[in-house]
Structure 1
Amino acid sequence: MASAPPVALTSPDYCNWNPEDASFPEQFAWGASTAAYQIEGGWNADGKGPSTWDTFTHQAGDRVFENQTGDVACSSYTLWEEDLKCIKQLGLTHYRFSLSWSRLLPDGTTGFINQKGVDYYDKMIDSLLANGVTPMVTLYHFDLPQSLEDRGGWRSSATVEAFEAYAQFCFRTFGDRVKLWITINEPYVVAELGYEKGTMAPGVKAPGTGAYLSAHNMIKAHASAWHAYDKLFRKQHGGLVSIALNSDWAEPFHPNSPADHEAAKRHIGFCLDWFATPIFLNGDYPAIMKSKISAMSKKQGYSSSRLPEFTEEEKMTIKGTADFFSLNYYTTRKIKNQDSSCSQPSTTEDKEAEEVTDPSWPVATGSSWLAVVPWGLRHLLKYIKDTYNHPIIYITENGFSQSDPAPLDDSQRWEYFRLTLQEILKAIYIDSVQVRGYFVWSLLDNFEWSCGYSSRFGLFHVDFENAALPRVPYRSAIEYARVIANNKLMNSHE
């Protein structure tokens, strides 16, 4: 399923090279991505159990824009055929979606299996394959069964065991047809926002400890699932398993400042490398994280580091547990060195790096944090190639949000995609990075976590005021379909 390795252009060729003259590699995966809680709705339909996001959005408070919920969302649970029409209209070769753990296993365990949930995902997978679309399936995309959270969630080692059992169930149930698996989506976001700052489900505020403990267990859960697939299913099903890691690119704020250069390295270290170093390299956390957190913990009076340690056996188990590199990229930050006061434990204090957005960078209208920096992706791809042994890479999320109401003529977003695809071509042909696929976030406007429906990332507009929830393509969907059909960027006159 992988295409031939790309060939680097020579320097003289590069001088006159136009990315719009270059095709993407043969068998390049063209996709779009979604997540169960963000599009399915049917939050308590047909035996589904509650997830942490059901609980989080149903509780009082200003946790989500206008107290909106994903109870209905795009109603993809009942309107799957409408989603499939969008997929076919784009001409996608791949579609990435997540399974709702609590729709399949209402209490998070295999003690009770919800057959109607199985039937729903069987229908999705079978209809994708019937239309020549390869499914990429994420096991966990932020929506932990509430029953598991009630017993500690990702802070508990019991969830590691529950995740392995859930993964085995999914591999056994769908693995004859699904060949691309993602175990966990963006563990950094779950750890940092779910268990450190509490701004996303489950809403736990445990500064300085919650993120590290939950991340520790997610890494172990991922490794357990990978080994289960490797031992029990790989020979029969021949699939690939990875974990989706998100990261910004980091540029030193002052290019001539050694301190800012080191801070930029720490920013990557405390985000991407936090998970990639143990999984892709040596089974353990990056040295900069270990030294920084240990020193900070000592200054704060802790008897040991707030960063948990892996045993030697765990390190051996974790090392090498990914068959490709799954990357989610949205933006870039400039980074300043920032000495910590050490007064309060937190991941931010430990990192000693301040994030700054360059005022010259355009910003997406629907997300104040999303500065438009397509060239940052090329830098990040080369960093991954050089740091993680030249892996095959799938860009499993990349997107640009519009504020609501969003114009169908989303020319600013298409320019973001066009420039991003140019940078990917440069990474492939100039830097020899093995990029094998690109997935837009997202197929549909959806429930965008704490932003609710105010932030629209979809290739297809969804009218949430209309009970029929019609899907209408934005201009970017039409342009993206042209790229997919020709496997290359198209000049405006083509």
Structure 2
Amino acid sequence: MFKFLASSAILLISGISAVKDVPKDFAFGAGTSAFQIEGAWKDDGKGVSIWDTFLHNKNAKENGDIACDSYHKWKEDVANVKALGLEFYRFSIAWTRIMPNGTLNQINKKGIEYYMNLIKGLKDEGIEPMVTIYHWDMPEYIQQLGGFLNPQFVDYFADFARLLFQQFAPYVKYWFTFNEPSMVCVGGYELGSLAPGLQLHGEGVYQCSYVLLKAHARAYRIYEQEFKAKYNGQVGLVINFDWAEPVTKSAQDLEAQRRHIEFALGWWANPIFLGNWPPLMIDRIANRSKMEGFVKSRLPAFTSEEIKDINGTHDFFALNTYSVSQVKYEPEPAIGQPSYNSDKGVDLVLNDSYYYPQGLRTSVNYINKKYQPKAIMITENGKLTSDGLDDQDRINTIRDFINNLVDAKVKDNVNITAYSLWSLMDNFEWGSYEKKFGVIRVDFDSPNRTRTWKKSAKWYQNMIVTRKLDI
């Protein structure tokens, strides 16, 4: 699927229309995650996850108990993946469906059977399965033991990853250890907006990142040492990062852009691709910690052995990206309650009227130059729209982003190998069914969770089949 074929992007102009050829070695797919689509939250021996607890404790009217009911409708989902012409399907495995309490003393054979059926169903249709090991749904029991604040999490996660490799490595060639670690740590341990809902300002967020990166490295090394020689698969971490342009070219706004990049992207990419945290993060957090009265920096220091172990744990660069924003200078935040945002110290300007898809091309060029990955995969990209089937706004946005990625690949020689649309279908967007990212509509008012193709699904299908992009 990812062979490097001789291809080019040719601009064909006829009248006012233009069509761009999409390289044949640019694979297209779509993604989902277990908690957002599967439902069946306590069926067939599944355990309780932190998202089950988080939502049930809030008595949330909307939750993941049924979601898209993909646990029971997976065959229909595979049929839609096939009909769309997707070359791969990215999904996650629910830890609690395989190991109900997150430990090896309970292994759920029905959970393993479910994912084996899904994986083999995809393979039978010629579709490459891409598996995310952790997409936010930690077992509640592991969270009660401390979650990402417990250094032993690394061992629990290693057991989970090894079990998945043992079961599915013969069929799965692409593995993602963690999805969007910034969201996990900032949302779950700093702001409390995401499960497990902790507000440990300025400290929990960095402890979370320290443990998470060590867990990623352990899983990568397990595959590298125990499975790679036989199955020759690839493993990486999925980083969420949206490029931001400086509001002006002033030295202050350019410095704000640098801080944004280092705190959002370098936070995760530097330890994995270069070794250690970004120097800017180390210095700023240490200085602010000292002024706040801490004896040592709130950012845990890696040992030399940890730096060595984490560095190089990548077979590709996986990027989730949705938009391009602007950033500008703000005065140094006052010393008070510590926080990730104060450590970062920039004003990220979120303006719905600002639309600059060319920033994605700039972003992948920056990543390619600084980190020199073997390949770059866009593992999530999409557009939030209304519930209608005529979603031309989604088509316009996706087309513009793909156009810039093709330019980065063909004109800039950035080795972009894959584009995964978010999402295959409307799903539970971490608190709400009102947010619609799918190219397939799901009727959440229907017990059957009826699926209906939107205009964007038909457009995506046509673009994949013809390898032509209207611009």
Residue of structure 2 in register with 1:295 after alignment? 287
Residue of structure 2 in register with 1:402 after alignment? 385
Deviation at 1:373, TM superposition (A): 3.5
Residue of structure 1 in register with 2:82 after alignment? 88
Deviation at 1:272, TM superposition (A): 1.1
2:317 aligned with 1:317, yes or no? Answer: no
Alpha-carbon distance change, 5 to 242 in structure 1, aligned in 2, over 3 angstroms:
farther
Q: How high is the TM-score relative to the length of structure 2?
A: 0.96
2:436 aligned with 1:438, yes or no? Answer: no
2:65 to 68, 71, 78: 71
Q: Contact 2:39–2:69 at 8 Å: present in 1 too?
A: yes
2:7 aligned with 1:2, yes or no? Answer: no
| AA partner of residue 220 (structure 1) | K
- Partners of 1:473 and 1:263 in 2: CA distance: 42
- Partners of 1:293 and 1:454 in 2: CA distance: 38
Q: Contact 1:8–1:432 at 8 Å: present in 2 too?
A: no
Q: Contact 1:461–1:472 at 8 Å: present in 2 too?
A: yes
- Partners of 1:218 and 1:44 in 2: CA distance: 27
Q: Contact 2:7–2:23 at 8 Å: present in 1 too?
A: no
Residue of structure 1 in register with 2:467 after alignment? 487
2:337 aligned with 1:344, yes or no? Answer: yes
| AA partner of residue 414 (structure 2) | V
Q: Cα deviation per residue 1:236-255 (whole Å; 9 max; x = unaligned)? A: 11100001100010111222
1:203 to 197, 202, 207: 197
Stretch of structure 1 that moved more, 295-304 or 25-34: 25-34
- Partners of 1:345 and 1:271 in 2: CA distance: 18
Stretch of structure 1 that moved more, 481-490 or 342-351: 481-490
Alpha-carbon distance change, 174 to 195 in structure 1, aligned in 2, over 3 angstroms:
same
Alpha-carbon distance change, 298 to 5 in structure 1, aligned in 2, over 3 angstroms:
farther
- Partners of 2:449 and 2:93 in 1: CA distance: 21
| AA partner of residue 128 (structure 2) | T
1:418 to 395, 399, 407: 399
Alpha-carbon distance change, 473 to 250 in structure 1, aligned in 2, over 3 angstroms:
same
- Partners of 2:17 and 2:282 in 1: CA distance: 41
Q: Which runs of 4+ in 1 moved over 6 A?
A: 5-9, 16-19
1:23 to 14, 21, 24: 21
Q: Contact 1:401–1:457 at 8 Å: present in 2 too?
A: yes
Q: Which runs of 5+ in 1 are unaligned?
A: 362-371
Alpha-carbon distance change, 80 to 390 in structure 1, aligned in 2, over 3 angstroms:
closer
Residue of structure 2 in register with 1:273 after alignment? 266
Q: Which runs of 5+ in 2 are unaligned?
A: none
- Partners of 2:450 and 2:86 in 1: CA distance: 20
Determine helix, strand or coil for the equivalent of 1:245.
Answer: strand
Q: Contact 1:245–1:275 at 8 Å: present in 2 too?
A: yes
List aligned pairs for 1:27-46, cutoff 5 A: 27-46=25-44
Determine helix, strand or coil for the equivalent of 1:43.
Answer: coil
Deviation at 1:357, TM superposition (A): 2.4
| AA partner of residue 392 (structure 2) | S
Deviation at 1:28, TM superposition (A): 2.3
| AA partner of residue 397 (structure 2) | Y
Alpha-carbon distance change, 446 to 199 in structure 1, aligned in 2, over 3 angstroms:
same
Stretch of structure 1 that moved more, 385-394 or 440-449: 385-394
What RMSD, in angstroms, separates the aligned Cα atoms of the two structures? Answer: 2.0
Deviation at 1:390, TM superposition (A): 4.6
2:136 to 109, 131, 142: 142
Alpha-carbon distance change, 87 to 7 in structure 1, aligned in 2, over 3 angstroms:
closer
Q: Cα deviation per residue 1:335-357 (whole Å; 9 max; x = unaligned)? A: 11221112110000000111102
Alpha-carbon distance change, 71 to 343 in structure 1, aligned in 2, over 3 angstroms:
same
Residue of structure 2 in register with 1:368 after alignment? none
2:465 aligned with 1:465, yes or no? Answer: no
Deviation at 1:24, TM superposition (A): 2.6
1:109 to 103, 124, 136: 103
- Partners of 1:396 and 1:206 in 2: CA distance: 29
Residue of structure 2 in register with 1:224 after alignment? 218
2:372 to 383, 386, 389: 389
Determine helix, strand or coil for the equivalent of 2:72.
Answer: coil
Residue of structure 2 in register with 1:380 after alignment? 363
Alpha-carbon distance change, 130 to 334 in structure 1, aligned in 2, over 3 angstroms:
same
Determine helix, strand or coil for the equivalent of 2:82.
Answer: helix
Determine helix, strand or coil for the equivalent of 1:86.
Answer: helix
Q: How high is the TM-score relative to the length of structure 1?
A: 0.92
Q: Contact 1:137–1:178 at 8 Å: present in 2 too?
A: yes
Determine helix, strand or coil for the equivalent of 2:77.
Answer: helix
Alpha-carbon distance change, 418 to 162 in structure 1, aligned in 2, over 3 angstroms:
same
Deviation at 1:391, TM superposition (A): 3.3
Residue of structure 2 in register with 1:355 after alignment? 348
- Partners of 1:291 and 1:5 in 2: CA distance: 45
| AA partner of residue 301 (structure 1) | G
- Partners of 1:399 and 1:232 in 2: CA distance: 36
- Partners of 2:390 and 2:158 in 1: CA distance: 44
Q: Percent identity?
A: 41
